[in-house]
């Protein structure tokens, strides 16, 4: 008899409270009004599936036009790393990152995009805008 030994198997999944917004820091932007677009990219964004705890890997791109503040890069890296074991839907992760960074920076505009690796024959590309359009 063949059984599905994986049906009840799952890995530990942290809830959204593990996302570390307290680590985020800002630095002054010395060229307000300059129409400067800032782009941060990583190929190493990870979170986990809310149901199985299996990892989701993605390429994340954050693009924004600052008013007066920039996010300090080391703090951004620690913040993004805090998603590593958090159970969050791929489509929700870009919205959560956008909410957190927009609240921190109050930028003129911001777009957060992620391209998640294929799982089960499907890949996901999610994009969120501030202000919402």
**Is 4 among the residues known to form the active site?**
no
**Is 37 among the residues known to form the active site?**
no
Q: Which entry of 15, 20, 37, 56 is annotated as an active-site residue?
A: 56
Q: How far apart are CA 110 and CA 60, in angstroms?
A: 13
Secondary structure element (H or E) that encloses residue 94, with its range: helix 90-105
Q: Which entry of 20, 49, 100, 106 is annotated as an active-site residue?
A: 49
Q: How far apart are CA 79 and CA 55, in angstroms?
A: 17
Q: Which residues contact 52 (CB under 8 A, 6 or more apart)?
A: 10, 11
Secondary structure element (H or E) that encloses residue 62, with its range: strand 55-65
- What distances in angstroms separate CA 107 from CA 37, 84, 133, one per listed residue? 10, 26, 15
Catalytic positions, written as ranges: 49, 56
């Amino acid at each position: 008899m063949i059984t599905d030994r994986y049906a009840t198997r799952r890995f530990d999944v942290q809830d959204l409270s593990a996302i570390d917004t307290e680590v985020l820091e800002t630095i002054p932007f010395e060229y307000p009004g300059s129409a400067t677009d800032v782009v941060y990219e990583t190929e190493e964004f990870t979170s986990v599936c809310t149901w199985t705890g299996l990892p989701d890997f993605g390429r994340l791109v954050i693009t924004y036009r600052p008013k007066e503040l920039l996010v300090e890069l080391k703090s951004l890296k620690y913040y993004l790393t805090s998603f590593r074991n958090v159970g969050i839907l791929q489509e929700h992760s870009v919205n959560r990152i956008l909410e957190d960074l927009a609240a921190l920076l109050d930028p003129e505009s911001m777009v957060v995009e992620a391209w998640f690796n294929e799982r089960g024959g499907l890949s996901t590309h999610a994009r969120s805008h501030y202000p919402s359009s």
